[in-house]
Amino acid sequence: MDDSDFDTKSRIIELLDVRGKIAFDYAKKVIYHQMSDHTERTATSIACANIAFIKYWGNRDSALRLPVNGSLSMNLDGLFTRTTVSFQNSLGFDELIINGHEVMGKGLERVSAILDIVRQNAGLDIKAQVVSENNFPTGAGIASSAAAFSALALASTKAAGLDWPEFAVSRLARLGSGSASRSIPAGFVEWKMGSGDEDSYAVSIAPPEHWDLVDCVAIVSAGHKETGSTEGHALAPTSPLQAARVVDGPRRLEICRRAILERDFDSLASIIEHDSDMMHAVMMTSQPALFYWKPATLAVMGSVREWRYSGLPVAYTIDAGPNVHVICLSESASTIVELLKALPGVENVLIAKVGPAARLEP
């Protein structure tokens, strides 16, 4: 080996070093990028479903989901959606995965509309992946859209670096699904109809530990409902009964609020059944008419009334579906569950105590 061989070899080593350094720097950049996508722009939240005691039915502005009346609900502990939102530079479009299945079309558009608001406020110009899991049947009168959009609102604002106060997250959730505004605060929650977009959001009127109520949800059909709430709200003004329901709204709201604050079960029972019956009367007299009840729904309603007349503190309320939410005190929950399970047509009974606020997972 002479000197020139030595020179050539050391030049090759030098060259390899430079290329190695470039490759190393590039790999470092890619890894850094991926890590920053995950550490800085990802958040996971959990939000409960809720059951309305005074119902939201009809909008005065359907694009902004500004309701025609205020509403009041109880969060349902243990019936929840867990959602992870991650904004990623590598995505060409928003992705939505619910219970392991990719969702496209209208469902994705509704989610993207919320993400667009978040992006605008955070000055972000990248798409997001949304992965969501429900632990209860979707579309059967348990407000899955409430849990879904409240979890989305909380996770997406956090992932985008926005540190919004509760009322602002509730307002954002409202734009995705009206009832979702009520799943952001804790316990017993009132959604103020407000004068416009700015002040239409939900607030907690009492924490979960205020009153040991239990919702025993009698499932009489776990299938998908035929007409979703969004279409239903649009039909509300076609019923001549809706105007009367709306005018009387503040009175019912006040009775219900007071019943909760004073833990007055009798008063709560009569107002929630009355409010639920009024909403269903509007539904049944809309054009086209909406009938959500099945024969088993009526059978459960009748039994609940009989049990109450015989001294058990129990009442029913029904959302836009056939299942009956049977509200009782926790001390009589096991009796009520047994009674419900013995009724023909009751397939299953879900049990939920008063639930907490929507929260972020560490």
For residue 144, count CB atoms less than 10 angstroms from its CB and return exposed for 0-12, middle for 13-18, buried for 19 or more: buried
Look up residue 55 and give its DSSP letter: -
Contact string (CB under 6 A) for ligand DP6, positions 147-186, x = contact: ------------------------------xxx-------
Contact stretch for ligand DP6 (CB under 6 A) within 34-42, 53-61, 194-202, 295-303: 53-61
Contact string (CB under 6 A) for ligand DP6, positions 64-93, x = contact: -x-----x----------------------
- Token output for 63: 């694009």
Applying CB under 6 A, which of residues 121, 230, 285, 332 lies at the interface with ligand DP6? 230
* Cβ nearer to ligand DP6, comparing 84 with 177: 177
Applying CB under 6 A, which of residues 41, 49, 56, 257 lies at the interface with ligand DP6? 56
Applying CB under 6 A, which of residues 173, 217, 320, 358 lies at the interface with ligand DP6? 320
What sign does the CA torsion over 63, 66, 68, 70 have?
positive
At 262, give phi and psi (nearest 5°): -95, 5
Q: Residue 349 carries which side chain, given as an amino acid letter? A: V
Look up residue 354 and give its DSSP letter: B
Q: Answer whether 183's CB lies under 8 Å from 80's CB.
A: no
In the complex, least distance from residue 48 CB atom to ligand DP6, rounded to whole angstroms? 13
* Cα separation, 278 vs 269, whole angstroms: 14
DSSP, collapsed to helix, strand or coil, labels residue 267 as: helix
DSSP, collapsed to helix, strand or coil, labels residue 72 as: strand
145 binds ligand DP6 (CB under 6 A): yes
In the complex, least distance from residue 36 CB atom to ligand DP6, rounded to whole angstroms? 34
Applying CB under 6 A, which of residues 41, 119, 171, 233 lies at the interface with ligand DP6? 233
Applying CB under 6 A, which of residues 43, 49, 52, 256 lies at the interface with ligand DP6? 52
Applying CB under 6 A, which of residues 41, 55, 158, 308 lies at the interface with ligand DP6? 55
In the complex, least distance from residue 24 CB atom to ligand DP6, rounded to whole angstroms? 51
* Cβ nearer to ligand DP6, comparing 235 with 259: 235
Contact string (CB under 6 A) for ligand DP6, positions 125-144, x = contact: ------------------x-
241: closest CA among 211, 197, 285? 285
For residue 9, count CB atoms less than 10 angstroms from its CB and return exposed for 0-12, middle for 13-18, buried for 19 or more: exposed
227 binds ligand DP6 (CB under 6 A): no
Residue carrying the six token digits 């609102």: 153
